[in-house]
Every structure is written in structure tokens, then in C-alpha cells.
Amino acid sequence: MMTIDDLKAKRIGVLLGGMSSERDVSLKSGAAIAKALREAAYTVVEIDVQRDLPQRLLAEKIDVAFIALHGRYGEDGSVQGLLESMFIPYTGSGVLASSVGMEKVFTKQVFVARGIPTPKHVVFETVDQALEEKLPFDLPVVVKPSREGSSVGVSLAKDATQYRDAVKQAGKLAGLIMVEQFIKGREVQGAVLDDEALGVIEIVPAREFYDYEAKYGAGSGTQYIFPARLDPELYDRVNQTCLAAHRALGCSGATRSDAIVTEKGELYLLEVNTLPGMTASSLLPKIAAGKGLSFTQLCERLLQGASLKA
């Protein structure tokens, strides 16, 4: 692990923006990270990731990459593989963990193989297949495109009409169409930093479903409560389950996992985010702050973990 003094002598490239549907969120994450690092006396270059990324990295003489990308071409192992081949240490998870974590279908398979509790699901290759085949569980269901993040294209479907619309919407986006059994309960998310459970935050959305608008919409009314209002045994179980998922995927740096807790105390893990958001409304910084880590300290911890993983 590099020291802070080592890192302050290097050129840090904050990779942001990108070409995915989550570009706007990434721009906000990257801007916040770059601002914090500059204020802490690091030499920072912001790079909007486009097709000329290799040339930009060379032209800017980047020594270390801080990945603030979300979605395809940034969170899915693509950029990680490029950085490995250019021998530029980078933050976050490596190629394999990133690609598996981005593909919800493969993530589910890892959860099932490792005994990590997760809702039942079914996968369809096409819109027609999803609409023609009978589901193995009843409505309501959650429909998701398998390769998008930040709840892009994710919909709650309570009836046949909503299901048809949700499938068509998901079918326009990347990957397979995953239909997941809806679990009624409280939304909680657990963070892991440097292979240690950091804590669990509770989400109280003003909307019925914690979708993209509830996450990022101006004045959405969504409330965040840290620590989550769970009894100690359940709180610890969420922490340990999120850590188990982090390790099962082989993740590095920080991850944030989405989970549901039912009234009976049942826990279901939904997915792992291998590059959590770093915006003003993002949950990793909120959890870190609740544990006494400032945003700048969090950025420094992530930066210190930059490495080659291959």
C-alpha cells in the first residue's frame, strides 16, 4: 500500500464521466473526489473517459488512477483491464470482480453458490421471452436490466400492465432481463472498506420504491438513517453478509451492498456495487461519516489502496 507522502508526489488521474447511462452520476462523483484531493494537496487531473482514454493517460503522465466511473465501460472491468495493461495502479476492484459484480445474473449465481441469501429470480434473453413465459413466482416483481447500475431501468411491477411496460423498458438497456421476486421490507445498505464491514444505513424513500428518481431526484424526500434501526444481532448479520458478498466476488477497496430486511428479521441481499457513488447523496460517504471518516479521509483511504490486481 502506498503512503500518503508517496501519493502526493504522483499525478492522480480522476476518471469520471464515461459513456454509460450513469454518466451524470459519475461526473458528480468525480468532481467531488477531485475537489477533496486537491484541497488535501494532491496533484489531480480530471479525465472524462472517452474512446481516447489511453492517449489521455499517456499525455497527462498519470501515475495512479482514481476510478469514479459508474456503469458500463467503467465499472464492468473494461477500464480496469486497460489500466492493468498500462501498468497504472487504480482504485477499487480488479477486472474479474468488477465484471462479475456488474452483471447481476452472475452475481446471483455467486450468491447462491456461497449460501448468501438473495431473492428468487428468473432470467430472460429477450422481451418476447419475458412476456410469453410464465413466471415461477407471483406478482409483484422487480424487473432489472442485468448490466446497469444506479437503479437505471429498474421497475416494480404489481400487475400485468406494469410488468409489460417494465420488461420493455429493461429490454432497451444493456444485458439480459432479470425478474426478481419482490420482497417487502426495509431497505438497508452495508458498506465494506479495505475488507472490513463499515456499517449499515437505512433508507426511507418517500416514493414506494427506491428507484433512480428516489435516489437522485431533486427533493425526492428520501431519508437516510445511520446507523440503521435494527437490533444488534440483525445489524451484525447485515454487516457480515455484506462482507461475505464482498469477499465472494473478490472485491477490493470499498463496496456497498443493497439488502432488504423483512418484519420477521429475514435478510435478502440484492446486489454489490463495486464502485459506490461519491456524490452528495451517496451512501458510502454517509456511512463513512457516521463512523468518523470525513469525505477527504475516505478518498485518501481509497487512494492508498490503489494497486494492480492482475
CATH, residue 10: 3.40.50.20
Per the structure, the complete domain to which residue 72 belongs is given by 4-92
Q: Catalytic pick from 92, 190, 277, 305?
A: 277
Burial category of 256 from C-beta neighbours within 10 Å (exposed 0-12, middle 13-18, buried 19 and up): buried
148 and 197 both lie in a single domain: no
The pLDDT score that the predictor gives to residue 78 is 96
Residue 223 lies in a domain: yes
Pick the catalytic residue: 63, 75, 148, 258?
258
258 is catalytic: yes
The domain total for the chain is: 3
Residue 288 lies in a domain: no
- Of 181, 216, 232, the one marking the end of a domain is 181
Does some domain include residue 290? no
The catalytic position among 26, 78, 146, 150 is: 150
Active site residue 165: no
Residue 245 has pLDDT above 60, yes or no: yes
Verify that 254 and 196 share a domain, yes or no.
yes
Q: Are residues 189 and 270 in the same domain?
A: yes
Q: Examine the domain organization and report whether 76 and 9 are in the same domain.
A: yes
Among 212, 216, 235, 268, the active-site one is 216
Q: How far is CA 241 from CA 36, 187, 238, 267, 286, in A?
A: 31, 15, 5, 9, 20
Using the predicted structure, report yes or no on whether residue 212 has a pLDDT greater than 60: no
**CATH number reported for the structural domain that contains residue 244 in this entry:** 3.30.470.20
Instruction: Note if 256 is an active site residue.
Output: yes
Nearest C-alpha neighbor of 204 from the set 193, 182, 189, 218: 189
Instruction: State mean pLDDT over 193-200.
Output: 97
The last residue of a domain, from among 181, 214, 232: 181
Domain membership of residue 150 (yes or no) is yes
Active-site residue 24, yes or no?
Answer: no
User: What CATH number is associated with residue 144?
Assistant: 3.30.1490.20
Q: Is 210 one of the catalytic residues?
A: no
Catalytic, out of 103, 211, 271, 300: 271
Specify whether 216 is catalytic: yes
pLDDT at 260: 97
Q: Which of 181, 199, 219 is the last residue of a domain?
A: 181
Query: Does 169 score more than 90 pLDDT?
Result: yes
pLDDT tens-place string over residues 92-145: 999 999 999 999 999 999 999 999 999 999 999 999 999 999 999 999 999 999
d(CA 133, CA 130) in angstroms, rounded, equals 6
Q: Is the pLDDT of residue 221 over 90?
A: no
Average pLDDT over residues 173-201: 95
Same structural domain, 247 and 214:
yes
What pLDDT does 38 receive?
98
Catalytic residue among 13, 22, 148, 305: 22
pLDDT at res. 173 = 86
Residue 22 known to be catalytic = yes
Residue 107 lies in a domain: no
Phi and psi, residue 141, nearest 5°: -135, 165
The residues that bridge with 189 in the sheet, in sequence order, are: 201, 258
In the residue annotation, 273 being an active-site residue is answered as: yes
User: For residue 115, is it within any domain?
Assistant: no
